[in-house]
């Protein structure tokens, strides 16, 4: 291996699985210990959710409601009313983006906009 490649490999190896797990545990603990006031500042009301709904087609609205219902069936027992409203709002926003992507005309023969060209690293 060249000197630069060896240095890069050493830099990557510096983060062990144990260090990563410790950092992830600290981040999770910090999220749990956040004051409720901070979390309440970003709360969403059901009125916010209904504002996003009219912009969707009926099919997209039904699909979004099915997705939200599926998420709430799975995790709803652990969520507050504000969190449930936030889930619905996020699903509706995502559905709006998905509907815009689906509306873009694309044929099977269309090439990607960019192509990945791999270049071998120069050894010194």
Residues 94-118 have pLDDT tens digits of 888 888 888 888 888 888 888 888 8
pTM of the predicted model as reported, rounded to 2 decimal places: 0.46
Tens-digit pLDDT profile for residues 16-56: 778 778 877 877 777 666 655 455 555 555 555 555 455 78
What is the per-residue pLDDT for 40? 57
DSSP-derived secondary structure letter, 14: T
User: What does the domain layout of the chain look like in residue ranges?
Assistant: 1-33, 39-103
Is pLDDT of 79 > 80?
A: yes
- Nearest CA to 44 out of 72, 77, 83 is that of 83
Rg (CA), the chain: 23
**Long-range contacts made by residues 62-67, C-beta under 8 angstroms, separation at least 24?**
63/95, 64/91, 64/92, 64/94, 64/95, 67/91, 67/95
- Residue 27: phi and psi, rounded to 5, are -65, -40
Evaluate whether 61 touches 53 at the Cβ level (below 8 Å).
yes
């Amino acid at each position: 291996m060249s000197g630069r490649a060896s240095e890069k490999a050493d830099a990557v190896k510096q983060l062990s699985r144990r260090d990563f797990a410790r950092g992830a545990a600290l981040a999770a603990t910090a999220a749990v210990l956040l004051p409720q006031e901070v979390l309440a500042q970003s709360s969403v009301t059901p009125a916010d959710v209904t504002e996003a709904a009219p912009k969707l087609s009926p099919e997209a609205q039904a699909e979004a409601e099915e997705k939200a219902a599926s998420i709430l069936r799975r995790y709803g027992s652990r969520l507050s009313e504000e969190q449930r409203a936030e889930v619905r709002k996020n699903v509706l926003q995502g559905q709006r983006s998905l509907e815009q992507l689906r509306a873009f005309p694309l044929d099977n023969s269309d090439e990607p906009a960019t192509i990945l060209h791999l270049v071998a690293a120069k050894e010194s």
